[in-house]
Structure 1
């Protein structure tokens, strides 16, 4: 069965990073093994306000693709390398690679994530 999903009305949004200044973001997970029965993929939309970031994290057993719908920022690696990205660009993150998304722009950053096989979202 094909599913057309509106993340704002059908997803179960979760706030991440509320306990750590600068790491707050809202995640709308739309697909995983429980949501729509995906066998291999986890996907959703993360919205970062200006100046916000994810924690430095990884998905130990999953490859990840990101698509930037809106906004701009930098992806930071474990060694501190910062690579800028803009709207309408993709990112490929290899399995196990530590990474951090940072909104360096003046508007909200909308980042679509898809990774597989399934894995946990960062806890902060």
Structure 2
């Protein structure tokens, strides 16, 4: 069955990074095995306020595609390399590659993520 999902109404938001300064973000997960029986994918919307970021993390068994709905920032690699991204761009992150999303702008960054197979969100 096809599902139309409003991430702000249908999902249960998850706050990540509340215990560490600079890592606070809100995740609206819209697809995974528990939410709607997704067999292969996890997807959602992450909103980063200006200056906030994810932790440096990976998805050991999952490939990830991200789409930037609004805002801009940088994706940081394990060696500290920083690659800028902007609104309406995609990024592909291979399985197991360490990465960190950073909002370098002055407005909220909206990042849509899709990864598969199933894996866990970072805890920080």
TM-score band w.r.t. shorter chain: over 0.9
Q: Which residue number in structure 2 is paired with residue 10 of structure 1?
A: 10
Q: What are the superposed Cα offsets for residues 4-33 of structure 1, whole Å, 9 maximum, x if unpaired?
A: 000000011000000000000000000000
Q: Secondary structure at the match of 2:8?
A: helix
Poorly superposed stretches of 4+, deviation over 6 Å: none
Q: Which residue number in structure 1 is paired with residue 31 of structure 2?
A: 31
Distance 1:36 1:15 in 2: 21
Q: Which residue number in structure 1 is paired with residue 22 of structure 2?
A: 22
TM-score by length of 1: 1.00
Two-structure CA RMSD over aligned residues (Å): 0.3
Q: Which residue number in structure 2 is paired with residue 54 of structure 1?
A: 54
TM-score by length of 2: 1.00
Q: Secondary structure at the match of 2:26?
A: strand
Distance 1:14 1:33 in 2: 16
Q: Secondary structure at the match of 2:19?
A: coil
Distance 1:2 1:119 in 2: 23
**Which blocks of at least 5 consecutive residues in structure 2 are unaligned?**
none
Distance 1:65 1:100 in 2: 13
Q: Secondary structure at the match of 1:8?
A: helix
CA shift for structure 1 position 68: 0.1
Paired positions, count = 124
Distance 2:49 2:111 in 1: 11
Q: Secondary structure at the match of 2:47?
A: strand
